[in-house]
């Protein structure tokens, strides 16, 4: 039952920070946050080693709608990725949030803003873990809505007009998508007789034949609705507005973890509610595959043309998340295994990239790619991490990104959907080339700035250890997955066998 404590411990710790009037000593504030993150990480990891699936009912909304939590293999995979990213981004923020200084000292207003930031940061962590361990669709939907409301303050943090508009856009898109998904809950409960997640789905053959039309429409609406959080076209625009205005560590968790709530929702809806046998080779699968491939290509093209580094990384997230969605839409074992692996690889890689961008902004104030000539000479360690993470996102061995994209491409080639078995791999390859085109120029011009660069006044200024160590850890994890993928692949393959 460790997972139950891992849900409510960070939520209660975050609420404690939010309601506490003031924390006079910043050091005590950071110790409190670090302790909460560490304890939560330990609880989640212990869940991985517990014997048998755990289940816990918090209370009943109605006789047929329990607020149910359950630990299974999928929930453990998503929660471990989430808590590791939150832990690394949290440690990074201990230094980064000194941006709140005023004239060299922390003003009372800035101190309260930082306390509020960490309060919501911990609440969001608990809500994300609750989503991972949600045992039925009503529990998942409840915390899905709470996730939007609790994470919006991270977008609003600096209080600028741009941040407010981005927060409102995030709220509008997220609620719109959630209401589309809510439509499906009624029909699933009516024709499936349960909202509890079950491997292989809950739609009976009789319900599929009698009410197949309305259930397919319901499935499509839920895919698009939950796909909003995952940045799937045509509801992707919030992501590239909200991510760049948030503080860099908040951008890291938004891009690496919070958007995965949409992915997890789609995994649960497709593989635990409707089932592969009901959706495969239907118009729903065709539309889903088209939307995901369109998003992959569009996101890569927009990232390639974007001059602002954080916004470029946000467009990259739009594209890379649809790699995952495309693999899930193919609905064969290889592609789904690749998708689940890419959930992990993308989470660690994209968090590392956003933290690298945040460290550059913190140290230099530069936000545009064209301003970063020579940055590799100034911060060689940080930029080597950026380069290795970029290679992972492109899909170059020996990184984990290569392994996940290999499985995605193999799965696409084995697709039973005519045309998609070659269109899919082609778009994946084109997107990989575009990814190299928008990530590697930072490395090339960073380490090779040209003869006209002012080498005489060059000063190395690596970020502090609180910034570099989290980036190193995330980068190392992404490489280790690529070097030693067997254990992870075996674990994910067992999950896929159960849900297909």
Distance in Å from the first CA to the final CA of the chain: 27
300/334 same-domain check: yes
Domain that holds residue 338: 280-500
Alpha-carbon gap, residue 153 to 208, rounded angstroms: 42
Alpha-carbon gap, residue 338 to 272, rounded angstroms: 18
Alpha-carbon gap, residue 105 to 4, rounded angstroms: 40
165/33 same-domain check: yes
Q: Is residue 40 a part of any domain in this protein?
A: yes
- 264-287 pLDDT, tens digit per residue, is 999 999 999 998 888 988 999 999
- 337-381 pLDDT, tens digit per residue, is 999 999 999 999 999 999 999 999 888 888 888 888 888 888 889
Instruction: With CA atoms as reference, report the closest residue to 248 among 173, 154, 330.
Output: 154
Model pTM score:
0.92
Alpha-carbon gap, residue 363 to 350, rounded angstroms: 20
484's tokens: 């030693």
370/468 same-domain check: yes
Instruction: Between 472 and 185, name the one with better pLDDT.
Output: 472
363/243 same-domain check: no
Q: Cβ of 481: how many Cβ atoms within 10 Å?
A: 25
Q: Is residue 469 a part of any domain in this protein?
A: yes
461/341 same-domain check: yes
Contacts of 206 (CB under 8 A, 6+ apart): none
Alpha-carbon gap, residue 107 to 91, rounded angstroms: 22
Q: Is residue 203 a part of any domain in this protein?
A: no
State phi, psi for 485 to the nearest 5 degrees. Answer: -85, -10
250/335 same-domain check: no
Q: Is residue 220 a part of any domain in this protein?
A: no
What's the distance, CA 429 to chain centroid? 22
Q: Is residue 229 a part of any domain in this protein?
A: no
Q: In this structure, are residues 81 and 252 in contact, taking their beta carbons and an 8 Å threshold?
A: no
pLDDT of residue 128: 94
240/171 same-domain check: yes
Alpha-carbon gap, residue 419 to 424, rounded angstroms: 8
Q: Is residue 215 a part of any domain in this protein?
A: no
313/251 same-domain check: no
Q: In this structure, are residues 96 and 158 in contact, taking their beta carbons and an 8 Å threshold?
A: no
- Over residues 426-448, mean pLDDT: 91
Total number of domains constituting the chain:
2
77/141 same-domain check: yes
Radius of gyration of the chain (CA): 22
Q: Is residue 218 a part of any domain in this protein?
A: no
Q: Is residue 82 a part of any domain in this protein?
A: yes
pLDDT of residue 253: 92
241/297 same-domain check: no
User: Helices 309-330 & 260-268, crossing angle to 10 degrees?
Assistant: 10
Q: In this structure, are residues 269 and 139 in contact, taking their beta carbons and an 8 Å threshold?
A: no
Residues β-bridged to residue 308: 368
Alpha-carbon gap, residue 100 to 416, rounded angstroms: 54
SS3 of residue 64 by DSSP: coil
293/171 same-domain check: no
- 382-431 pLDDT, tens digit per residue, is 999 999 999 999 999 889 999 999 999 999 888 877 788 888 889 999 99
380/250 same-domain check: no
pLDDT of residue 268: 94
Alpha-carbon gap, residue 324 to 17, rounded angstroms: 36
């Amino acid at each position: 039952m460790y997972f139950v404590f891992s849900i409510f411990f960070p939520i209660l710790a975050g609420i404690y920070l939010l309601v506490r009037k003031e924390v006079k000593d910043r050091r005590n504030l950071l110790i409190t946050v670090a302790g909460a993150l560490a304890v939560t990480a330990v609880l989640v990891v212990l869940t991985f080693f517990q014997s048998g699936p755990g289940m816990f009912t918090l209370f009943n909304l109605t006789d047929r709608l329990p607020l149910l939590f359950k630990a299974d293999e999928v929930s453990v995979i998503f929660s471990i990725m989430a808590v590791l990213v939150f832990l690394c981004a949290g440690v990074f923020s201990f230094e980064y949030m000194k941006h709140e200084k005023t004239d060299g000292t922390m003003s009372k207003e800035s101190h309260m803003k930082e306390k509020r930031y960490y309060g919501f940061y911990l609440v969001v962590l608990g809500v994300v873990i609750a989503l991972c361990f949600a045992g039925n669709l009503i529990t998942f939907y409840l915390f899905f809505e709470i996730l939007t409301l609790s994470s919006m303050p991270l977008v609003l943090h600096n209080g600028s007009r741009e941040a407010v508009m981005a927060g409102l856009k995030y709220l509008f898109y997220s609620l719109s998508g959630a209401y589309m998904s809510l439509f499906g809950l009624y029909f699933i409960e009516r024709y499936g007789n349960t909202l509890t997640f079950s491997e292989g789905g809950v739609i009976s053959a009789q319900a599929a034949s009698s009410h197949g039309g309305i259930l397919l429409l319901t499935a499509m609406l839920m895919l698009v609705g939950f796909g909003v959080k995952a940045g799937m076209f045509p509801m992707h625009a919030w992501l590239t507005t909200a991510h760049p205005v948030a503080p860099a560590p908040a951008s890291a968790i938004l891009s690496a973890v919070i958007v995965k709530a949409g992915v997890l929702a789609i995994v649960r809806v497709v593989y635990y509610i409707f089932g592969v046998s009901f959706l495969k080779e239907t118009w729903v699968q065709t539309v889903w595959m088209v939307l995901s491939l369109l998003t992959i290509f569009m996101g890569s093209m927009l990232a390639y043309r974007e001059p602002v580094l954080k916004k470029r990384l946000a467009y990259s997230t739009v594209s890379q998340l649809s790699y995952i969605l495309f693999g899930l839409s193919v609905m064969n074992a290889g592609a789904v295994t690749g998708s689940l692996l890419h959930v992990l690889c993308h989470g660690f890689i994209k968090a590392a990239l956003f933290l690298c961008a945040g460290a550059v902004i913190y140290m230099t104030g530069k936000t545009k790619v064209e301003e970063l000539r020579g940055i590799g000479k100034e911060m060689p360690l940080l930029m080597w991490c950026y380069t290795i993470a970029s290679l992972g996102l492109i899909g170059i061995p020996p990184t984990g990104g290569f392994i996940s994209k290999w499985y995605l491409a193999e799965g696409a080639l084995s697709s039973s959907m005519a045309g998609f078995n070659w269109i899919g791999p082609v778009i994946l390859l084109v997107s990989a080339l575009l990814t190299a085109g928008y990530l590697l120029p930072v490395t090339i011009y960073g380490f090779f700035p040209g003869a006209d660069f002012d080498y005489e006044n060059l000063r190395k200024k690596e970020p502090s250890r609180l910034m570099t160590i989290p980036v190193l850890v995330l980068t190392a994890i992404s490489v280790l997955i690529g070097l030693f993928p067997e254990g992870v692949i075996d674990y994910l393959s067992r999950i896929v066998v159960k849900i297909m």
